[in-house]
Amino acid sequence: MVLRKIKNIGLLIAYVMSIYIFFPDNVYAMHIMEGFLPFNWAAFWWIAMIPFIIAGVRSIKKTVALHPNLKMLLGMAGAFAFVLSALKIPSVTGSCSHPTGVGLGTILFGPTAMTVLGMIVLIFQALLLAHGGITTLGANTFSMGIVGPFVSYGIYKGLKKLGAPQWLSIFMAATLGNLMTYVTTSIQLGLAFPAASGGVTAAILKFMGIFAFTQVPLAISEGLLTVMVFNILTAYSQKELQVLTAFTGKTISSIKQGVKA
């Protein structure tokens, strides 16, 4: 079992290496910088973000009202996103980027809760670190707090339904959610800056070369770290996980069985 796990991870590393060989550009990958989206697009993403924020605040309120003892776990999910967003990790493309850390909270509390927490992290970085921006907050929240978490949630649910092991579902959910965040960033920039020849598609591909490929090893790191935290939660926070099962369906049932056995 453990050997198989190691073999799988080895295969993933080989995959990353091959990506490095094919896309050796020296690139940077981050959120969209302040002022770097034309006004109309910035406004569009802000408006697109608002319904998710409202739904997120409601979902968090509901969680906290029903289960006040989950407040700490919610804070922990937010803190996890906070740490991971601060870690700019070198990538195989010769530049740095950072994980988003929203996969963990998504699996625990659902995607919209992480829209709110993700936005808080982005506001902090925009105001204090000049990283990302307030005008581009809508677009960045849409990629990191909406697309990422919804992809993670869908993949987690889907893999669970297919009967995949818990750790694999968590790993894939966090990894692909992170990757899709940066694919979304590329699409957002491509839409705003279509190329003279090739239009939107060419521009999207160009930005994807910058944003998405750097992200692959980081996405894997994020997946691994999320699995690590889940291992700890499984061992020490059974009660909380079981309460959460009540309103996210039977997503965590296999953890429960694992401990009883």
DSSP line for 133-162: -STTHHHHHIIIIIIHHHHHHHHHHHHHHT
Please state the closest distance from residue 74 (CB atom) to another protein, in A: 10
Nearer to another protein, 150 or 211 (CB): 211
* Cβ 220 vs Cβ 15: under 8 Å: no
Please state the closest distance from residue 161 (CB atom) to another protein, in A: 25
Nearer to another protein, 47 or 54 (CB): 47
Taking the CB of residue 222, how many other CB atoms lie within 10 A of it? 28
Nearer to another protein, 121 or 150 (CB): 121
Please state the closest distance from residue 52 (CB atom) to another protein, in A: 23
Here the contacts of 49-56 (C-beta below 8 Å, separation 24 or greater) are 49/115, 49/119, 49/137, 49/138, 49/141, 49/142, 49/145, 49/146, 52/112, 52/115, 52/145, 52/146, 53/115, 53/116, 53/119, 53/141, 55/112, 55/115, 56/112, 56/113, 56/114, 56/115, 56/116
Please state the closest distance from residue 46 (CB atom) to another protein, in A: 13
Nearer to another protein, 47 or 83 (CB): 83
Please state the closest distance from residue 9 (CB atom) to another protein, in A: 6
Contacts of 183 (CB under 8 A, 6+ apart): 208, 211, 212
Nearer to another protein, 32 or 144 (CB): 32
Please state the closest distance from residue 253 (CB atom) to another protein, in A: 20
Amino acid at 230: F
Nearer to another protein, 159 or 216 (CB): 216
